[in-house]
Structure 1
């Protein structure tokens, strides 16, 4: 009964909150509705209520929804969407632990729930037999229409003439519907149907056992594996089997020892160069291309670190963890390699720091900082694998939780304002004013408060699509005034609260001088 009530309520709420609105407080309200719906639909005694992952996603969903109400940023929207999907995944299969499996489980359930709801609609009981038959065949057309819609989208993307023809057809159908139903538009009908499908995916739970069954095979720690010999194969004596396995392990140990020994020596040389060059007193020489130095070096070193982690996972995946004659040497060799990769990661961080110090902040630079935090966490889990015989499943579980925590931290930051405040410093001889003006409107008060700085900055640049060009200070001031006027006009033209974030409200107060 609760499910039948929540489905139309959620569809109407979705339409009211999101039709012709941007993301903001509406996402917080809808997220609260979805969380409350899950708590209502859960039985009083259920494994879901005992799942720590479920309550983690409840908190993450509400937190990211609140960040949408405050900032309305793209990363907050991504965090909110991911949190809600993970919440639905753990409601579907409460014994899951892997976040990627929970995400795929939620998507699989949502993909089946919408068609089931549409196919489950029934004609009125007092309808005639002809109406019932028509309703039955109409429901049968749902799946073919969905397939037709998918191929239509593919052909629109692939064929420009087909795209133009489809636009004319859609416009003609829309005009007909407007003539038939003046108060209802085709776009609004499609949007309301989307709301029904979204709500159905959250309220109607279709059990998906595939990934939960697959995860149940894994454990937190590696166990010794015995050789599997087919029943039709000629079996060797036990002593010969043990000797063969010992020789295979010895060969694998020799290969691992050679790899760790050689790459440790090579990485020691690289780290010695970086420590001597970057760690103490690094000052770029005149004409030094710091951008190329940071971009090329950072990406190559990050790939090197990821490759190193993959090699450690490969050698410590099976019975080599139990090869007692060489296990201590192998562990210490791998540990030294992991620690050297941590030193390499610090060098990457220093490259990123020098770029920020001399050229300013940017989205990628912040992304590199968070990625390096995840790299350090990942290297720590690799050490756990080496010394505690942790499985790859354990590492994926821990690192996916760390990635989710980093996503929530990114959602909580007012990054654009912080970037603008840092870049608008007198010590920078060049300011990319085009980049700052392309940011969300909450940056505008910071730009207005620093507008006098634009008149004294030697180089003001903007990207025109064909490369960066220099702008006169007067042109930059005109662009700033135009951006402020346009933003205020758009804000005043959309008075509905659904898409008005707290930061936008504060921005409007600052730009209009309201205290």
Structure 2
């Protein structure tokens, strides 16, 4: 059959790109201030009070540029992100930890995302909206600056010639790297030449470096993203199509066979839905029986009076078993999502049996998660705490929460959108909890108990400096521990003596004191480091 297209004059015109609103006086003032503040607070600095000050600056900028009646001011998630960013910055000023920095950075992105599209409910879509807006804001600022903008044609022309220059430079850099690796003499001569150029440039600007220039560019882009809102509707449009509940699809019933003729369509679709129900019930019945056997073994073996036998490889038992069982739980969630994705939620004759089997499957996976937690607990009890063990604890909490929301999906016909939204909020809450803890000090304090027969000194010395007072206070414990382990320069574990452990501790304390004496700036100050310095003094 032929298809006739209308003439080009009859086609609908493409929507014109909206004109950029000129920058306000507040934006013109705050944008260069944000670049200077970012460079002053973070260049060659540690994490500390600087992150709190920058969080206050970004939040203040958002509240300053938002109109008084903007929808974002009435959005609960926007204010949750504001509170999270300030809380993460405060915890960075207290502990200076990476978790606090991550919580503050993620919260600031959420603030920008919800200020851009306040009706969003998915945290992931808010983060992507903020990233998309910030990526466009840096290029939009020159065109939106009053009296200083450049025309679109000039921008395209500049980008065209810029690509002509960047392409050959990229090829030059690639071959320079290859020749420097292959020819040591060329590497030495080119290194001298680059050092001479760097020395000449350093005379022009004492703090100049390629890294510093890129750092200033990052500060400009972040300030532009925080101050200039470029509307990003893509993710808001996608979320608008999603609902909290599964909808019955009368015209698209799930089928595992080919499409039947139209004159018997209804009967065959009912038959196909019954076949899918039979497959779901059979699969859930079989895996429930298998998991019941596994849970019975674990309950009998792990839950009551478990004590590892002499020579029992507890590390292999925990590491391999934990990861496999976690993957099993995630796979179980995927199976439930698959069977309850469409019209099986409305299959009246067999829905009670299907819900009963899926509920038993979810509850049995919750029992399996408890067994994984017990494996992790036994490892912590006999070997001590570590980052992965702590991560497994919080992951299992999120898993139990996810299994609870899975029950809501089964019994209330909730959608995947509901699951992602609720579990993302739970993950964000866990991130804030991680930011609020002095986990390294607590881990060191736990691992230095006299009841442990093995202490990983290398792991403790690799922790931040705020852990050193705990190690200093436990010197006598280190002398009594039967086995101490460290790490070589390649990271391989090795057994060390008590004297070697003491000398490593002395060297670490001396190096940390030296760094504290030479570090005179206040931007990276945090309470935990100050408290450690007072204790070591």
| Same structural fold, with TM-score higher than 0.5 when normalized by the shorter chain | yes
Structure 1 alignment gaps of length 5 or more: 126-130
Q: CA deviation at 1:202?
A: 1.5
Report whether the alignment pairs 1:236 with 2:236: no
Counterpart residue number, 2:229? 205
The within-5 A match list for 1:362-401 is 362-401=386-425
Counterpart residue number, 2:51? 27
What is the DSSP-based 3-state SS (H/G/I as helix, E as strand, rest coil) of the residue aligned with 2:232?
coil
Counterpart residue number, 2:243? 219
Counterpart residue number, 1:320? 344
Question: C-alpha separation between the residues in 2 aligned to 1:149 and 1:507?
Answer: 52
> Which of 130, 136, 159 is 1:112 aligned to?
136
Q: Any conservation in 2 of the 1:118–1:142 contact (CA below 8 Å)?
A: no
Q: Any conservation in 1 of the 2:27–2:65 contact (CA below 8 Å)?
A: yes
Question: C-alpha separation between the residues in 2 aligned to 1:467 and 1:12?
Answer: 43
Question: C-alpha separation between the residues in 2 aligned to 1:60 and 1:145?
Answer: 44
Q: Any conservation in 2 of the 1:177–1:184 contact (CA below 8 Å)?
A: yes
Report whether the alignment pairs 1:486 with 2:511: yes
> Which of 29, 34, 56 is 2:80 aligned to?
56
Counterpart residue number, 2:4? none
Q: CA deviation at 1:450?
A: 0.5
> Which of 517, 520, 528 is 1:495 aligned to?
520
Q: Any conservation in 2 of the 1:115–1:142 contact (CA below 8 Å)?
A: no
Counterpart residue number, 1:161? 180
The within-5 A match list for 1:115-194 is 115-118=139-142, 140=159, 144=163, 155=174, 161=180, 171-182=195-206, 184-194=208-218
- CA 1:185–1:350 in structure 2 vs 1: closer, same or farther (change >3 Å)? closer
Counterpart residue number, 1:419? 443
Q: CA deviation at 1:141?
A: 7.0
Q: CA deviation at 1:137?
A: 9.2
Report whether the alignment pairs 1:70 with 2:94: yes
Question: C-alpha separation between the residues in 1 aligned to 2:335 and 2:107?
Answer: 32
Q: CA deviation at 1:205?
A: 1.3
Moved more, 182-191 or 61-70: 182-191
Question: C-alpha separation between the residues in 1 aligned to 2:375 and 2:155?
Answer: 65
What is the DSSP-based 3-state SS (H/G/I as helix, E as strand, rest coil) of the residue aligned with 1:469?
strand
Counterpart residue number, 1:467? 492
- CA 1:145–1:214 in structure 2 vs 1: closer, same or farther (change >3 Å)? farther
- Cα-to-partner distance string for 1:380-417 (whole Å, 9 max, x where unaligned): 00000000000000000000110111111111111100
Question: C-alpha separation between the residues in 1 aligned to 2:359 and 2:393?
Answer: 24
* Pairs aligned (count): 500
Question: C-alpha separation between the residues in 2 aligned to 1:176 and 1:122?
Answer: 36
Moved more, 183-192 or 326-335: 183-192
> Which of 469, 479, 482 is 1:445 aligned to?
469
TM-score by length of 1: 0.91
Question: C-alpha separation between the residues in 2 aligned to 1:116 and 1:223?
Answer: 41
- CA 1:250–1:33 in structure 2 vs 1: closer, same or farther (change >3 Å)? same
- CA 1:60–1:455 in structure 2 vs 1: closer, same or farther (change >3 Å)? same
Counterpart residue number, 1:511? 536
What is the DSSP-based 3-state SS (H/G/I as helix, E as strand, rest coil) of the residue aligned with 1:452?
helix
Report whether the alignment pairs 1:404 with 2:428: yes
Question: C-alpha separation between the residues in 2 aligned to 1:98 and 1:116?
Answer: 26
> Which of 83, 97, 120 is 2:121 aligned to?
97
- CA 1:266–1:55 in structure 2 vs 1: closer, same or farther (change >3 Å)? same
Question: C-alpha separation between the residues in 2 aligned to 1:184 and 1:362?
Answer: 40
Moved more, 195-204 or 143-152: 143-152
Question: C-alpha separation between the residues in 2 aligned to 1:97 and 1:301?
Answer: 31
Counterpart residue number, 1:128? none
What is the DSSP-based 3-state SS (H/G/I as helix, E as strand, rest coil) of the residue aligned with 1:219?
coil
Counterpart residue number, 1:259? 283
Counterpart residue number, 2:303? 279
Q: CA deviation at 1:192?
A: 2.2
What is the DSSP-based 3-state SS (H/G/I as helix, E as strand, rest coil) of the residue aligned with 2:311?
coil
Q: CA deviation at 1:203?
A: 1.2
- CA 1:330–1:124 in structure 2 vs 1: closer, same or farther (change >3 Å)? closer
Q: Any conservation in 1 of the 2:142–2:148 contact (CA below 8 Å)?
A: no
Structure 2 alignment gaps of length 5 or more: 1-24, 254-258
- CA 1:155–1:68 in structure 2 vs 1: closer, same or farther (change >3 Å)? farther
- CA 1:366–1:181 in structure 2 vs 1: closer, same or farther (change >3 Å)? closer
Question: C-alpha separation between the residues in 2 aligned to 1:145 and 1:508?
Answer: 54
What is the DSSP-based 3-state SS (H/G/I as helix, E as strand, rest coil) of the residue aligned with 1:427?
coil
Q: Any conservation in 2 of the 1:155–1:162 contact (CA below 8 Å)?
A: no
Q: Any conservation in 1 of the 2:260–2:268 contact (CA below 8 Å)?
A: no
The within-5 A match list for 1:279-298 is 279-298=303-322
